[in-house]
Structure formats: C-alpha cells, structure tokens
Amino acid sequence: MLGPVNHIALAVPDLAEAMARYRDRLGAHVSAPQVLPDHGVTVAFVECGPTKVELLEPWGDASPIAAFLARNPTGGLHHICHEVGDLLAARDRLVSEGARILGDGKPKIGAHGRPVLFLHPKDFFGVLIELEEVKPTSAEA
C-alpha cells in the first residue's frame, strides 16, 4: 500500500526567506509559491531528486500551520507525504485497522493536483502522515 516518499514538509514562519535560503545557500531549484486555500497554506517545493522538500507558510487565520508555528516559532518538520496507488482503498483499510483520518475523511486536492488525506499523528508515533494518490503509469503497472 505505502509507496515512496513524495515530500517532506517543513513549516516556516517566512516563506520568502525559506525559499531564498534553499535557493541561495544550497543552490536548489525552488518552485514559485502556490496558495492552497482549502489547506490554509502557501507552499513552495524544493526540487532535490524524486523526493521534494515542501515549504509551508500559514495562509489565513484558520491555518493549521499558524498553530504549529505558535508552538515552534522558528519552524520545523510538519509532515511526511507518501504516495499510494489507491487513496480510498488505503483510507478504508487504515480506518478498518483503527487509524484516524483527519478532517471529514474525504480527500482534498493537494499541491500537486492529486487527492490527499492526512493521518492522525498520534497513530504514527507523533508524525503527521499525508497520503497522496499517484496512479502508476502504464509502464509501471
């Protein structure tokens, strides 16, 4: 069920500063910022091979990132995103085994334009897990 790590997300208090630090100090390619109102964040991706680093900044008063940054003012690891081939099947299996899905349990569209769900961190050793549906290409199937 669990596929490769798609990205590791860092909550940051200042997205422009974080983007500049990755770009200028580490020489990384950083995407343009993207606002995701449904998730309450603005994101940018640091390209570093098949796994990316996602930089998250709060967007709006109800942003879950704002609460995270209140506890961690300099930022920090927010979540790890794994790819899955069938998000609804993964959700149903996890729920049947006692895992908790955050929100209403219905997938939302994430930054890559694909359905995503988040798993309760208390069920996974204090780590927030995001699952992103990535269908295998015909060559991989």
Measure the CA–CA gap between 7 and 10, rounded to whole angstroms: 10
C-alpha Rg value of the chain to the nearest Å:
15
- Residue 134 and residue 3 in contact, taking contact as beta carbons nearer than 8 Å: yes
Asked about 130 being catalytic, the answer comes back as yes
Q: Considering 54, 130, 132, 133, which one is annotated as catalytic?
A: 130
How far apart, in Å, are the Cα atoms of 44 and each of 62, 63, 107, 112, 125?
20, 16, 21, 11, 26
Residues annotated as catalytic (active site), given as ranges: 130
